[in-house]
């Protein structure tokens, strides 16, 4: 059986072109239109376009400052690394990249898999922490794209939450250690604060049952334990373009409240560098930290860590080798209501 793996991610416009940025933002806002309770499809599209037009100038400025987003290029490198790792393990698997909000879209990737004669399709979101508008929505897009192709009924498997993978945890902890060592910073020094910056989410999703905040909390606690750090700070990078409640505390407020001399900031929600890291953290948050007298050190996202392709290969190996996914501690997902969705996050027995 011909098998294909689609690596799923948000995507970002590679260049700061207005039309591309507005379209990208409009797709994002439309995807979350339910948060504002628009009554009709036309109202949702109009509101999404308004929000996109309002946000676009600021985001274009961010892209110009960082020289365009490297996210898509890094995603392609991860695809190549995964395919090579699977080949080394003896698996002949095609790999694809699909983005939720830019091209190549998830639908593009699925159609390419169909054209290649794929009979077994595996969806793997490259979101370290499972969230409703990221992991879950991306996998729903895969299912919708498959359903939209006539006379094609591939076997489908999905991997959702995977932040508990032991090697993934080690490579993230190592990245923090290396950043601190290179800066000559002692993580155990009481004047050093380890700060975890998580991508924010509207509280609507948490109220509806998303466990994203649980995953964030447990990951931060695990990282601190691996690093021997007793106290740390968590803040959220919120995008308050809508008048709705978001996760708290906001990362800016968390930074301003610190009684320390320096901070080491790790962006835990990302496995690619992108505008949220290169602009929101490296420029905006650094400026705010330095304004209150804090030396600022940001942990690079370990997107090219040589161990990461093996992490991804481990997650899909049960499905390409056809053995019980439970052997690798993958269990039915609590966040996505689909019998084909498996994750590392579900408590044993559920």
Residue 33 predicted with pLDDT over 80 = no
202 and 143 both lie in a single domain? no
N-to-C CA span, the chain: 30
Q: What is the pLDDT of residue 207?
A: 94
**36, pLDDT greater than 70:** no
Quick check: bond before 219 cis, omega within 30? Answer: no
What is the phi/psi pair of residue 27, to 5°? Answer: -65, -40
Choice between 64 and 347, residue whose per-residue pLDDT is larger: 64
Task: Confirm whether 350 is domain-assigned.
Answer: no
Q: Is the pLDDT of residue 44 over 90?
A: no
Among residues 288, 297, 282, 284, which one has the least CA distance to residue 255? 288
Listed in sequence order, the residues at least 6 apart from 198 whose beta carbon sits closer than 8 Å to its beta carbon are 129, 216, 220, 234, 235, 236, 237, 247, 268, 269
Whole-number Å distance between alpha carbons of 189 and 105: 46
Same domain, 279 and 204: yes
What average pLDDT does range 76-90 have in this prediction?
98
pLDDT digits (tens, 9 = 90+) for 130-178: 999 999 999 999 999 999 999 999 999 999 999 999 999 999 999 999 9
337 is a domain residue = yes
Task: Give tens-digit pLDDT for 258-280.
Answer: 999 999 999 999 999 999 999 99
Q: Provide mean pLDDT across the span 238-247.
A: 79
CA angle, corner 15, sides to 9 and 19, nearest 5?
Answer: 95
Rounded mean pLDDT, 76-87: 98
Tell me the chain's radius of gyration from C-alpha atoms: 20
- Tell me what the mean pLDDT of segment 120-134 comes to: 97
pTM reported for the whole predicted model: 0.94
Instruction: Tell which residue, 204, 198, 214, 297, has the closest CA to residue 251.
Output: 198
Q: Is residue 201 part of a domain?
A: yes
Return the pLDDT at 241.
61
Picking from 3, 63, 82, the residue whose alpha carbon sits closest to that of residue 276 is 63
- 143 and 35, same structural domain? no
Number of domains in the chain: 3
Do 210 and 235 fall into the same domain?
yes
Q: What is the mean pLDDT of residues 22-31?
A: 86
For residue 249, whether the previous peptide bond is cis, meaning omega lies within 30 degrees of 0, is yes
Report the candidate in 247, 196, 204 with the shortest Cα–Cα distance to residue 226: 196
Assess whether pLDDT exceeds 90 at residue 349.
Answer: no
The verdict on 96 and 177 lying in the same domain is: no
Q: Based on the fold, state whether residues 86 and 56 are members of the same structural domain.
A: no
**What letter does residue 234 receive in the DSSP assignment?**
E
8 A C-beta contact, residue 326 and residue 343: no
pLDDT at 350: 46
Q: Which domain holds residue 32?
A: 18-66
CA atoms in the 13 A half-sphere facing the CB of 289: 24
pLDDT digits (tens, 9 = 90+) for 277-312: 999 999 999 999 999 999 999 999 999 999 999 999
Residue 265 counted as domain residue: yes
Span 71-85, average pLDDT = 97
Tokens 């509806």 locate to 208
User: What are the phi and psi torsion angles at 197 (to 5°)?
Assistant: -105, 115
Is position 310 within any domain? Answer: no
| Residue after which a domain boundary falls, among 66, 81, 98 | 66
d(CA 319, CA 157): 7
We report the CATH number of the domain holding residue 180 as: 3.40.50.1400
Indicate whether 292 and 207 sit together in one domain. yes
Is residue 349 in a domain? Answer: no
Percent of the chain with pLDDT over 70: 96
Q: Is 314 within the bounds of a domain?
A: no
Domain check: are 183 and 293 in the same one? yes
Residue 348 lies in a domain: no
Across the range 26-48, mean pLDDT stands at: 77
- Domain match, 133 and 257 both: no
pLDDT, residue 43, reads 77
Longest CA span, the chain: 63
User: Does residue 77 sit in the same domain as residue 197?
Assistant: no
* Residue position matching structure tokens 């949220």: 276
CA distances from 220 to 172, 179, 198 (A): 11, 17, 10
Read off the pLDDT of residues 318-343 as tens digits, 9 standing for 90 and up: 999 999 999 999 999 999 999 999 99
What's the CA gap between 90 and 137, in Å, rounded? Answer: 31
Tell me, yes or no, whether 79 and 110 share the same domain. yes
Residues 276 and 186 in one domain: yes
Which 8-state DSSP code applies to residue 328?
G
SS3 238: coil
């Amino acid at each position: 059986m011909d098998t294909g793996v689609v690596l799923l991610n948000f995507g970002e416009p590679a260049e700061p072109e207005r039309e591309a940025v507005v379209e990208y933002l409009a797709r994002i806002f439309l995807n979350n239109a339910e948060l504002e309770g628009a009554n009709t499809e036309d109202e949702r599209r109009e509101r999404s376009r308004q929000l996109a037009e309002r946000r676009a100038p600021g985001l274009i400025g961010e892209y110009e400052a960082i020289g365009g987003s490297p996210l898509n290029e890094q995603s392609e490198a991860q695809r190549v690394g995964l395919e090579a790792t699977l080949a080394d393990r003896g698996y002949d698997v095609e790999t694809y990249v699909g983005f939720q909000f830019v091209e190549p879209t998830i639908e593009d990737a699925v159609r390419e898999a169909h054209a290649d004669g794929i009979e077994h399709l595996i969806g793997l979101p490259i979101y370290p922490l499972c969230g409703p508008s990221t992991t879950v929505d991306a996998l729903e897009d895969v299912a919708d794209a498959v359903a939209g192709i006539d006379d094609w009924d591939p076997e489908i498997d999905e991997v959702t939450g995977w932040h508990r993978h032991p090697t993934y945890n080690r490579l993230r902890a190592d990245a923090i250690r290396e950043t601190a060592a290179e800066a000559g910073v002692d993580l155990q020094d009481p004047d050093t604060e380890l700060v975890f910056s998580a991508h924010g989410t509207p509280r609507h999703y948490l109220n509806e049952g998303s466990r994203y905040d649980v995953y964030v909390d447990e990951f931060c606690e695990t990282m601190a334990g691996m690093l021997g750090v007793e106290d740390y700070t968590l803040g959220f990078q919120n995008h308050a373009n809508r008048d709705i409640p978001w996760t708290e505390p906001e990362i800016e407020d968390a930074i301003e409240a610190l009684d320390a001399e320096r901070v080491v900031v790790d962006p835990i929600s990302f496995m690619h560098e992108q505008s949220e890291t290169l602009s929101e953290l490296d420029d905006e948050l650094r400026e705010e930290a330095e304004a209150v007298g804090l030396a600022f050190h940001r942990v690079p996202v370990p997107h090219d860590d040589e161990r990461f392709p093996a992490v991804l290969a481990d997650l899909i190996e049960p499905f390409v080798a056809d053995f019980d996914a439970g052997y690798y501690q993958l269990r039915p997902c609590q966040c996505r209501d689909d019998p084909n969705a498996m994750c590392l996050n579900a408590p044993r027995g559920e």
